[in-house]
Amino acid sequence: MAEKQVVIMIRQFLRVTLFICLVYTGPAAAEWYQRSEAIMGTRVHAEIWHEEAAQGEAALDAVMAEMHRVDALMSPYKAESELSRLNNNAFEHPFVVSEEMFRLLQKSQRISLMTEGAFDITYASAGRFYDYRNAGRPQDKQLSEAVMAIDYRHVIFDPENSAISFALQAVSIDLGGIAKGYAVDRCIEILMALGIDQAMVSAGGDSRIIGDHRGKPWSVGIKDPRNPDAMVAVLPLENTALSTSGDYERFFIEDGVRYHHIINPETGRSSSASRSVTIIGNEATFTDALSTSVFVMGLEKGLDLINRLPGIDAIIINNDGKLHFSDDLLQLAH
Ligand code: ADP
Ligand code: MG
In a domain, 83, yes or no: no
| Percent of the chain predicted with pLDDT > 90 | 89
Write the pLDDT tens digit of every residue in 52-68. 999 999 999 999 999 99
Ligand 1 neighbourhood includes 176 CB (under 6 angstroms): yes
Which atom, in ligand 1's list, is nearest to the CA of 121? Answer: 25
Going by their DSSP bridges, the two strands 227-237 and 269-270 should be labelled as unpaired
Instruction: Tell me how far apart the alpha carbons of residues 136 and 256 are, in angstroms, rounded to a whole number.
Output: 15
Is the minimum distance from the CB of 269 to ligand 1 under 6 angstroms?
no
Q: Which atom of ligand 1 is nearest to the CA of 41?
A: 3
Find the domain containing 258 and state its range.
Answer: 3-50+200-333
Which residue is closest in CA terms to ligand 1's atom 16? 176
Q: Which atom of ligand 1 is nearest to the CA of 118?
A: 23
Instruction: Quickly state the pLDDT bin for 333 (edges 50, 70, 90).
Output: confident
Interhelix angle 284-297/299-308, rounded to 10 degrees, is 150
Query: Given this model, what pLDDT does residue 18 score?
Result: 46
Is 191 contained in some domain? no
Q: Which residue type, as a one-letter code, is found at position 141?
A: K
Q: What is the spatial distance between Cα 279 and Cα 286, in angstroms, rounded to a whole number?
A: 9
Cross-strand bridge partners of residue 236: 219
Does the global pTM surpass 0.85? Answer: yes
Average pLDDT, whole number, for the chain?
93
**101/123 Cα distance (integer angstroms):** 18
Q: What is the pLDDT of residue 20?
A: 47
Return the CATH number at 282.
Answer: 3.10.520.10
User: What pLDDT, in 10s, does the model give residues 125-181?
Assistant: 999 999 999 999 999 999 999 999 999 999 999 999 999 999 999 999 999 999 999
Q: How far is the CA of 262 from the centre of ligand 1 (A)?
A: 5
Smallest CA separation from ligand 1 atom 8, residue: 177
132 lines ligand 1 (CB under 6 A): no
On the question of pLDDT at 70 being above 70, the answer is: yes
Backbone phi, psi, residue 330, to 5°? -65, -40
CA of 28 to the centre of ligand 2 (A): 38
- SS3 state of residue 291: helix
Whether 31 is in a domain gets the answer: yes
Calculate Rg over the CA atoms of the chain. Answer: 24
H or E stretch covering 330? helix 327-333
pLDDT at 300: 98
Tell me, using a 6 A CB cutoff, whether residue 296 lines ligand 1.
yes
Query: Ligand 2 centre and the CA of 207: distance in Å?
Result: 11
Give the pLDDT confidence of 238-287 residue by residue, as tens digits: 999 999 999 999 999 999 999 999 999 999 999 999 999 999 999 999 99
Q: Where are the beta strands (DSSP E) in the chain?
A: 31-39, 42-50, 95-96, 155-158, 163-166, 199-203, 206-210, 218-224, 227-237, 241-246, 251-254, 257-260, 263-264, 269-270, 274-281, 313-318, 323-325
Q: Give domain status of residue 298, yes or no.
A: yes
Q: What is the pLDDT of residue 331?
A: 85
DSSP-assigned states of every residue in 20-51: HHHHHHHHHT-EEEEEEEEETTEEEEEEEEES
Domain annotation covers residue 16: yes
> DSSP code of 309?
S
Phi, psi of 309 (to 5 degrees): -95, 115
Number of domains making up the chain: 1
Q: How many residues does the chain have?
A: 334
Nearest to 15 by CA among 27, 23, 4: 23
One-letter identity of residue 189: E
| Whether the CB of 263 sits within 6 Å of ligand 1 | yes
pLDDT at 7 over 70: no
pLDDT tens digits, one per residue of 197-211: 999 999 999 999 999
Out of 19-23, 34-38, 73-77, 138-142, pick the least confident: 19-23
Provide the CA 212 distance to its chain's centre, in angstroms. 19
Residue 294 C-alpha to ligand 1 middle, in angstroms? 11
Query: Measured between alpha carbons, how far is residue 274 from residues 159, 318, 329 in Å?
Result: 36, 5, 19
What is d(CA 135, CA 128) in angstroms, rounded to the nearest whole number?
13
Residue 180 Cβ inside 6 Å of ligand 1? The answer reads yes
* Mean pLDDT of the region 297-325: 97
The strand pairing partners of 162, in sequence order, are none
Assign residue 306 a region: left if phi > 0, alpha if psi is -120 to 50, beta otherwise?
A: alpha
- Ligand 1 atom having least distance to the Cα of 263: 20
Provide the pLDDT for residue 11.
57
User: Ligand 1 centroid vs 321 CA: distance in angstroms?
Assistant: 20
In this predicted structure, the answer to whether residue 19 has a pLDDT above a threshold of 50 is no
Per-residue pLDDT at 51 exceeds 70 = yes
The rounded Å distance from CA 286 to ligand 2 centre is: 9
pLDDT at 6 over 60: no
- The pLDDT tens digits of the residues spanning 98-125 come to 999 999 999 999 999 999 999 999 999 9
239 in any annotated domain = yes
Report yes or no on 105 lying in a domain: no
In a domain, 280, yes or no: yes
